[in-house]
Every structure is written in structure tokens, then in C-alpha cells.
Structure 1
Amino acid sequence: MPVFQSEGLTLAYEVHGEGPPVVAVHGFGSNGVVNWVATGWVEALIEAGYQVITLDNRGHGQSEKVYDPALYGAEDMARDVANLIDHLGFEKVALLGYSMGARISAFVCIQNPEKVACAIFGGLGANMPTPTLDSEEIIAALEADSLSQVTHPTGRQFRIFAEHTKSDLKALAACMGGSRTRVAVEDLKRIEVPVLVAVGSEDVVGGPAQPLADMLPRGEALVIARRDHMRATGDPQFKRGALAFLARVYPA
């Protein structure tokens, strides 16, 4: 995978297709391939005429692993996205973020509004302005010697997923400790670009979509029916809604 330097770290990314750029920012414990390629997102966006840039966030995938929670602030990870946009020479991009990636994308909109044409916040709704739910339990699950020692339901979910993606568990524990940055409501109200908030109807991790959409000056809500946090990522409802949104506000 190609790499670039951001804030002293070596980060990996991939460029897929041609057309208006969409930078896809994956969720916690995932990576560009698992979150966006394996779920069919890259294929769907390329078919719609977009160029897709998938980033492995710091501590994830093929990007550099660090173990200090202080290096995983959502604002810092947002600078990685902005630095990638500059590295590739893009003026403006659409952002597609899921869960932690949605929080990171919100900070890109806040810190570098000049680089963003529109955004899609997936898997994170009303809970965007709050720290990650069950974060201490998730950290404990990642730091446990084995999955058999983990009894907390959310902790088990994340530990199973992290093992499935063959992630560095210590890096993820540090990331969860540092990336729980609260996004202030007053800052969300300053995001002026069109934003689609897409969350599963059964997603208790992200919270409902409409309250966050209502905070955003140009927010729209999409409810992904019958899906929870883990199962909404690649759902066809999510793809159809996102592609319709992009066709209106950021046509290929």
C-alpha cells in the first residue's frame, strides 16, 4: 500500500477508481479493506463515478502502531485525514466516515472546512457529542489475556471484531483511551456543508440519526432499518441513501 507521513507517523492508504474524490474513514478496530472494500462500498462508489481513497487510521491496518493514548485524539486523527487530502493534491473532497471515522470526519469539517464539500456520518448519531459508550469495558476487553475472560457484551463484540481483523490489541486499547473526544454541540452547529447522518435503527452505540441531523445546519437523517452498529456498515439501504445524497450534493 502507498504510505505518507502525517504528524510524524507513517500511514497507509489506497486510491481506487477515478472521479470526484471520496475519502473513506473507517471505524474503530477496522481498516480500509475491511470497512470499505469487503463491504462493497468501494465497488459501489466507483460504479457511481467516484474515486475512493481508503485510509488506515493510525494504530490500524497497515499504518504505524503507537501505544500512547495521548496520540489518538480525534482532532489528531482528523489532521491525518487533512494531511492525506493535501498529500494527494485535492482541493475539496467528500468524507465518508463510520463510527469513530464519523467522529474524525466531523473534526475535519470543523478544523478544515475549506477541504470538505460534503460528509456522510455513518454509525454515529445522537451520541456524537458524548464520549464513547462502554469505553472502559472495551479497553478492558482488549487488554484481557483471552476472549474467554471477557464477559461484558459490548466488550466481547469489539474484542471478537478486533481479533477478526487481526488488529494490534494494545494499539486499539490506546486508541480507545484517546479517541473518545467529545464533539461540542456548538462546533457541530458550525458545520455548514451538507451532511447525511446514517445510523441503524437498532444502534445503541451510535444513537438515533435525527437528533444529530437536527444539530447540523444542512443535516439529513437516514435510518438503516433493522440494523445495529456492527451490521449497518455494508447494508444496501446505507449505500443507496449515501449514493442518492452524493448525487444531489456532490455529483460525479
Structure 2
Amino acid sequence: MQTFSSNGVEIAYFDVGEGEPTLLIHGFASTAHVNWAYPGWVETLTAAGRRVIALDNRGHGASAKLYEPEAYHTTVMAEDARALLDHLAIETADVMGYSMGARITAFLSLAHPARVRSAVLGGLGIKLIDGVGLPETIAEALEAPSLDDITDPQGRVFRAFAQQTRSDRRALAACIRGSRNLMSRDEVRQIGCPVLVAIGTKDDIAGEPHPLVDLLRDGEALDIPNRDHMTAVGDKVYKAGVLDFLSRRL
């Protein structure tokens, strides 16, 4: 991992392959490697002739850990992504985010339309604007003394995941409290780039894809059969759909 400074916050990233740039933004409690390298996305995209850039979001992986919720507002994390493009002198890129990373991608697309050629929102549908996918109770699960003290099933999943990735649980608790930001319907309508909304058909966190697609100027849905929020990430239907979507941007 290399690092750069985003307004004084050290952000880690990797940059591999050659060709059209694709920026990948991971989900909550994950990392660039866990979300994108381990499920085969980096291999898939580089084999398709693409340059792949992926960052560890602030509070995650090898990036700086901050402990105030306001440091994790989605607009702030979108600026980290924009700053990485600046650092690498990339004028425009295709951007794919998953879950929280999809929320960041949407906010980046709105704030900096010239920088996002196309966007893939994985694991995030109508809950971009209508409620938030991950409840704040996950922060309480992250702060609990042990996994055995957590009774909420979703909280247990994310606490176990955070422990598996050896994450800074205090930073993650601040992140989830600060990053659950909504976009209005009018703001969604202002996103002008082509957008693919890709969600597992058994995902009970993301919200439905089609109501969000109906609001977008140039949106399409990809249903990932029989996958939930966690298992959709590396699915072959997801990968094939994204490759097809990106090929139409060339």
C-alpha cells in the first residue's frame, strides 16, 4: 500500500494494472484488499485491461484512524476519493463502491460530476435516500466488551467481521455514527453519469434497486440472484454485469 495526505489525513491505497482507470471504494468495516482483492475483483478488472485503484477509507485498514463522528461524514470521505484522483493526476474515472462505499460513490458523483465517468453502486439501493442500511446499533456492538455480550444478529455479524479484519473498533464506531448520511431525491436526480445499481436479491440491508434507478437520469439495475449483502460481493453475475456496463463506456 502507498499513502498520500487528504487534507492532512493519511490515506492508504494501491494502484495496479494499465488502461482505463477504475476507482474502488470499499464498504464499512472492510478494506481495499478484503472488499476487492480477496473476492477477485482486482484480477477481474486488470484482466479486462483496466487500471485499478483502491483506497482504505479513513478509519479502516492502513489509513489514519479518527475518533470523532463528524470526521466520517460521507461528503468528507468523498473528498478523500477525489483527492486520490488528484494525487494520481486522474481527470476522470469509472468508480465502483460497495455498501458504504456506494454511498461515498454517489456523493462523489454529485459533488464532482466531471471526475466520475460512470458509477457502480453495489449493495446500496433506495436506502441511499430512504433510511440508512446499517443501524447505529452496530456501533454499540463494536463497543461491547466481547462478542458474547451482543444479542443483535446484525451487530454480531459486523463485530465478528471487524475482529476478523483486526479493525480499530473505536474508529469504526465513530465511522458508522458519522457516515449514515442520506441523499435527497432531488440530489439523486442531479447525478448525470451512467449508474449501475447492483444488489443481491436476498440483501435485506441495501434497499430495493429499482426505485433508486427510477430516480436516476441514466440508471440501470442488476439483480444478483440468491445473494445477500455479504455474499454478493464476489458473485460472478455481479462481475459479469459490471464488466458489461463498463465496456459500454468505452
Q: CA shift at 1:234, angstroms? A: 0.7
Residue equivalent to 1:167: 167
SS state at 1:189 partner: helix
Is the CA contact (8 Å cut-off) linking 1:131 and 1:181 kept in structure 2?
no
Is the CA contact (8 Å cut-off) linking 2:133 and 2:207 kept in structure 1?
no
Residue equivalent to 1:71: 71
Give distance in 2, aligned partners of 1:40 and 1:30: 15
Give distance in 2, aligned partners of 1:25 and 1:147: 27
Give distance in 2, aligned partners of 1:117 and 1:163: 36
Residue equivalent to 2:149: 149
One-letter code of the match for 1:35?
N
% of aligned pairs identical?
48
The 5-angstrom pairing of residues 205-220 of structure 1 reads 205-220=205-220
User: What TM-score does the superposition give when structure 2 sets the normalisation length?
Assistant: 0.98
Deviation string, structure 1 residues 110-162 (Cα, Å, up to 9, x no partner):
11111010010000011111342452210110000100001101111111111
Is the CA contact (8 Å cut-off) linking 1:29 and 1:161 kept in structure 2?
yes
SS state at 1:54 partner: strand
Residue equivalent to 2:104: 104
Give distance in 2, aligned partners of 1:240 and 1:43: 13
- Any stretches of 5+ residues in structure 2 without a counterpart? none
Is the CA contact (8 Å cut-off) linking 2:125 and 2:208 kept in structure 1?
yes
Is the CA contact (8 Å cut-off) linking 2:189 and 2:217 kept in structure 1?
yes
Q: CA RMSD in A?
A: 0.8
Give distance in 2, aligned partners of 1:91 and 1:70: 28
Is the CA contact (8 Å cut-off) linking 2:13 and 2:54 kept in structure 1?
yes
SS state at 2:136 partner: helix
SS state at 1:30 partner: coil
Is the CA contact (8 Å cut-off) linking 1:142 and 1:169 kept in structure 2?
yes
SS state at 1:35 partner: helix
SS state at 1:148 partner: helix
Give distance in 2, aligned partners of 1:83 and 1:236: 31
Alignment of 1:117 onto 2:117: yes
SS state at 1:213 partner: helix
User: What TM-score does the superposition give when structure 1 sets the normalisation length?
Assistant: 0.98
Deviation string, structure 1 residues 33-65 (Cα, Å, up to 9, x no partner):
000000000000001010000100000000000
- Any stretches of 5+ residues in structure 1 without a counterpart? none
One-letter code of the match for 1:9?
V
One-letter code of the match for 2:157?
Q
Residue equivalent to 2:21: 21
CA 91–134 in structure 1, closer or farther in 2 if over 3 Å, else same:
closer
Give distance in 1, aligned partners of 2:110 and 2:29: 24
The 5-angstrom pairing of residues 23-102 of structure 1 reads 23-102=23-102
Give distance in 2, aligned partners of 1:144 and 1:179: 20
